[in-house]
Amino acid sequence: MSISSFHPPERTLMGPGPSDVNPRILEALSRPTIGHLDPAFVGMMEEIKELLHYAFQTENQLTLPVSAPGSAGMETCFVNLVEPGDKVIVCQNGVFGGRMKENVERCGATPIMVEDDWGKVVDPNKLEEALKQNPDARTVAFVHAETSTGAQSDASTLVDLAHQHDCLTIVDAVTSLGGTPVKVDEWGIDAIYSGTQKCLSCIPGISPVSFSEAAVERIKARTHKVQSWFMDLNLVMGYWGGGATRAYHHTAPINPLYALHESLVILQEEGLENAWARHDRNHQALKSGFEAMGLTFFVNEEDRLPQLNAVTIPEGVDEAAVRKTLLSDYNLEIGAGLGPMAGKIWRIGLMGYASNEKNVLFCLGALDAVLSGMGVGINSGKAVNAARAYYE
């Protein structure tokens, strides 16, 4: 058997992630690999931390990229802040709240579930009631931007409620960071994690995290050893701590960190507020097109993520066939629904570098053509013009 080099097809990635990678970031990946303790690399590490402070809007000293995907960022937060016997209130309104529950259980703690329907935001009243009924709870965990549904909860209000009841907070911002406001210090978030492959326009495989002083104090006061050696922040900080002297912990992913550095430089150049406005503008154009076509959104307008659009599938449509045709004929990827949303919604991403006018018009035109070709009763020929009219 002879296997030759792998050359992937060129796709337009408009699913729930990964998103299109900025060419500047692909170039950064190709730069020469140096040692993970090289003084030049250590200097870049310091810049990454500074850039993450900007992205997260925080001054937290313990802010760094975990050398693994967003799921590892999630686990890093839980294994460091949750101890066996703890009680953790977990808010679930989609897939990723369920993964939080799984993390709590694997830490030997008890999850107290606050559940909302998929597509709805976390209900602050339900959280408040759970906090009153569980005065011994130590932590509240919730997803800011639920990738499985496209709903964005009110992080500021939820964190405030948790603090009123002496709980620390763990927040999932995998899909929101860089796309919609995430204000760690202003909102008082204690532990937050994200991913690089969504609105940061970077490759998958790195998870930015940040921890407040209160969270650091809890980590230092643990009575049980952190169950994960690799994610034990007491050890990781020997490598990611300040100063030029670093203690070897693991071989960092050198070139992916070049990519993260470049993505954060790009975010800094654009400006956070401009990035948030761009994501919203392109969402509004996409919305205009879908509504002109006759398609509807799954999430209430005031609760929608502009970067992750959950579109209701018309009745009788073979949604998998639509996605397959988009991929084969247009090299366009959109996402399917997960769990109870499978077969009910498409998840269409406008994240990071992929959030642009060209992609909006391309997606609307391609979906119009595919649905019309299948004989689906849509208002064919109207979507692209409606989006153009919004832009103009």
When divided into structural domains, the chain yields a total of 2
Q: In the prediction, which pLDDT does 340 show?
A: 93
Tokens at 36, concatenated = 């993970």
| pLDDT cut 90: percent of the chain above it | 96
Residue 246 has pLDDT above 90, yes or no: no
Do 222 and 298 reside in the same domain of the chain? no
Give the tens place of pLDDT for each residue, 255-279: 999 999 999 999 999 999 999 999 9
Q: In the prediction, which pLDDT does 243 show?
A: 60
Residue 307 has pLDDT above 60, yes or no: yes
Mean pLDDT over 100-106 rounds to: 98
Do 253 and 339 reside in the same domain of the chain? no
351: left (phi over 0), alpha (psi -120 to 50) or beta: beta
Q: In the prediction, which pLDDT does 241 show?
A: 80
CATH code of the domain covering residue 328: 3.90.1150.10
Q: Using 50, 70 and 90 to split pLDDT, how confident is the model at 294?
A: very high
Name beta bridge partners: 207: 66
Give the predicted TM-score (pTM) of the model. Answer: 0.96
Do 151 and 293 reside in the same domain of the chain? no
Do 115 and 220 reside in the same domain of the chain? yes
8 A C-beta contact, residue 118 and residue 339: yes
Residue 178 in any domain: the answer is yes
Question: What is the secondary structure of 89-132 as a DSSP string?
Answer: EEEESSHHHHHHHHHHHHTT-EEEEEE--TTSPP-HHHHHHHHH
Name beta bridge partners: 113: 90
C-beta atoms surrounding 241 within 10 Å: 15
**How many helices, marked H, and strands, marked E, lie in the chain?**
14, 14
Residue 289 in any domain: the answer is yes
Q: Using 50, 70 and 90 to split pLDDT, how confident is the model at 244?
A: low
Residue 7 in any domain: the answer is no
| Domain end point (choices 269, 294, 314) | 269
Do 362 and 282 reside in the same domain of the chain? yes
Domain that holds residue 277: 272-391
Of 176, 197, 149, the closest CA to residue 342 belongs to 149
Residue 197 has pLDDT above 80, yes or no: yes
Do 253 and 289 reside in the same domain of the chain? no
Do 246 and 296 reside in the same domain of the chain? no
- Distance (Å, whole) CA 211 – CA 171: 11
